[in-house]
C-alpha cells in the first residue's frame, strides 16, 4: 500500500477575505429582501446610509494610519458591518442614529484595536448596544409588519421620517395594526403581556402572532436561515457556532416551556423571532471575535444561545443577541485556553 505524504498546511482551497465577505453579503440578501417586504423601504435606506458612512470612516482612518485605502475598502469587511447594523435597527429610526452607530463600529470598535483581525468585540453588535443603551425608545420602536399594519410607509414617507424632511408624517400611524392597536415586536409583546398577568396562550391570540410565531418575523428569520445554509454549503462559515447557538437556545427554551408553558414562549417562538437566525449564521460566526477550535466554537455558540434565553426571560430587553454575543466575545479567549486541541504526539495534560 502506497501513501502520499505532503507538507502542511493541508488546505484544499484558499479564500481571500474579500471573497468570504462577498459571499456573506450575498447570502444576506434574501433576508434583507424579505425584511423590506414586511417592514418597508426604511430598512434599505438604513443599509445604504450605513454603507456610505462605513466606507467613508474606513477610508478616513486608513488615511490617518498611512495605510492602503483601496486594499482596506476592497476587503468588504466595512460594508458587511454596515449591512448588519442597517438590518438590526428599526427601519424608521432617525438618520443620525445609523451614522453614529456605524462610525462607532468602524472607528472605535474595529480600528482602535488595530483593524480587521485585532478587534475584541463584534463591531456591529457593539454599535447596536451603544445605540440601544443610549436611545432605548428609538431602538425599540418597530413598525407593524405590512400584512397586519393599518398603514405601511411608502418610500417618500420613509425618507421623510428618517431624515425629518418635508411634510410632517407621524411615526405612530405605522405602528398601528389592523385592529387599531399599536404593535411591538413579538418578543416584546409576549414579555409585556406576561408581566401584566396574561398567560402565553392569551398573549398569542394577538394580531402580531400567527400561531406560535410572530407575523412577518417568522419569514424574515426563515430567509436568513436559508441564506445561512447557503453559507455553510459554500464553506464560508463552519457549522459549529451556528449549531451551538440554535441548540443552546432550543434546549434552554424547551426546558423553560416544559416547566412553565403558561409563562414561557415556545422554542419555535424563540427560534423564529427577533434576530435569531441573523445572529446564528451572520453575527456569532465572526471568526475574529469567536473561539477558534471546533469544540470551542460549539461551546461559544451554545453559550450565546443560553445567554439569549436568560436575558429574554429575566432581562430588561426582549431580544438579547447583541448582549449575548459581546459577553461571549469576552469569554472566547478563556474558552480557547481550556479546549485547546492536544498537540499530535503529546499526552493530554
What does the pLDDT look like over 256-275, one tens digit per residue?
999 999 999 999 999 999 99
Place of cell 409576549: 190
pLDDT of 167: 67
Specify burial of residue 210 (Cβ count, 10 A radius: 0-12, 13-18, 19+).
middle
What is the radius of gyration, based on Cα positions, of the chain?
Answer: 21
* Bridge partners (DSSP) listed for residue 213: 210
State pLDDT tens for residues 49-76. Answer: 999 999 999 999 999 988 888 888 888 9
Averaged confidence pLDDT in the chain: 88
CB-based contact 85:101 (threshold 8 Å) = yes
pLDDT range class, residue 213, cuts 50, 70, 90? confident
Dig out the grid coordinates for 208 from the structure: 402580531
- Which whole number is the average pLDDT over 7-29? 74
pLDDT range class, residue 8, cuts 50, 70, 90? very low
Give the integer Cα–Cα distance in Å for 50 and 67. 22
pLDDT of 6: 44
User: What would the DSSP string read from start to end of 144-161?
Assistant: PPTTTBS----HHHHHHH
Global pTM value: 0.90
User: What would the DSSP string read from start to end of 192-261?
Assistant: HHHHTT--HHHHTTSTTEETTEETTHHHHHHHHHHHHHHHHHHTSS-HHHHHHHHHHHHHHHHHHHHH-T
State pLDDT tens for residues 62-117. Answer: 999 888 888 888 889 999 999 999 999 999 999 999 999 999 999 999 998 888 88
Residue 57 CA from chain centroid, whole number: 22
DSSP 177: B
pLDDT higher than 70, residue 346: no
Amino acid at each position: 500500500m502506497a501513501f502520499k505524504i505532503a507538507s502542511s498546511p493541508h488546505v484544499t482551497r484558499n479564500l481571500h477575505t474579500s471573497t468570504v465577505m462577498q459571499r456573506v453579503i450575498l447570502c444576506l440578501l434574501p433576508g434583507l429582501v424579505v425584511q423590506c417586504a414586511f417592514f418597508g423601504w426604511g430598512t434599505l435606506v438604513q443599509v445604504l446610509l450605513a454603507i456610505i458612512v462605513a466606507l467613508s470612516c474606513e477610508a478616513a482612518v486608513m488615511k490617518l494610519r498611512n495605510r492602503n485605502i483601496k486594499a482596506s475598502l476592497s476587503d468588504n469587511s466595512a460594508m458587511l458591518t454596515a449591512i448588519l447594523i442597517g438590518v438590526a435597527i428599526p427601519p424608521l429610526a432617525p438618520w443620525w442614529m445609523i451614522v453614529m452607530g456605524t462610525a462607532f463600529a468602524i472607528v472605535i470598535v474595529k480600528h482602535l484595536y488595530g483593524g480587521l483581525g485585532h478587534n475584541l468585540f463584534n463591531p456591529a453588535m457593539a454599535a447596536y448596544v451603544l445605540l440601544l443603551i443610549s436611545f432605548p425608545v428609538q431602538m425599540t420602536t418597530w413598525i407593524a409588519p405590512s400584512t397586519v399594519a393599518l398603514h405601511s410607509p411608502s418610500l417618500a414617507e420613509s425618507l421623510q421620517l428618517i431624515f425629518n424632511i418635508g411634510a410632517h408624517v407621524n411615526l405612530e400611524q405605522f405602528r398601528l395594526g389592523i385592529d387599531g392597536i399599536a404593535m411591538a415586536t413579538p418578543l416584546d409583546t409576549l414579555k409585556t403581556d406576561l408581566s401584566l398577568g396574561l398567560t402565553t396562550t392569551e398573549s398569542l391570540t394577538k394580531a402580531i402572532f400567527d400561531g406560535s410565531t410572530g407575523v412577518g418575523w417568522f419569514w424574515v428569520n426563515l430567509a436568513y436561515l436559508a441564506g445561512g445554509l447557503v453559507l455553510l454549503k459554500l464553506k464560508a462559515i463552519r457549522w459549529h457556532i451556528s449549531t451551538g447557538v440554535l441548540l443552546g437556545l432550543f434546549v434552554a427554551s424547551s426546558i423553560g416551556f416544559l416547566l412553565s408553558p403558561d409563562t414561557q414562549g415556545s422554542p419555535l417562538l424563540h427560534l423564529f423571532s427577533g434576530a435569531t437566525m441573523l445572529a446564528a449564521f451572520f453575527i456569532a460566526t465572526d471568526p475574529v471575535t469567536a473561539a477558534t477550535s471546533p469544540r470551542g466554537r460549539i461551546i461559544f455558540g451554545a453559550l450565546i444561545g443560553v445567554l439569549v434565553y436568560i436575558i429574554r426571560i429575566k432581562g430588561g430587553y426582549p431580544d438579547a443577541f447583541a448582549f449575548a454575543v459581546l459577553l461571549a466575545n469576552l469569554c472566547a479567549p478563556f474558552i480557547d485556553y481550556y479546549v485547546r486541541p492536544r498537540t499530535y504526539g503529546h499526552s493530554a495534560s
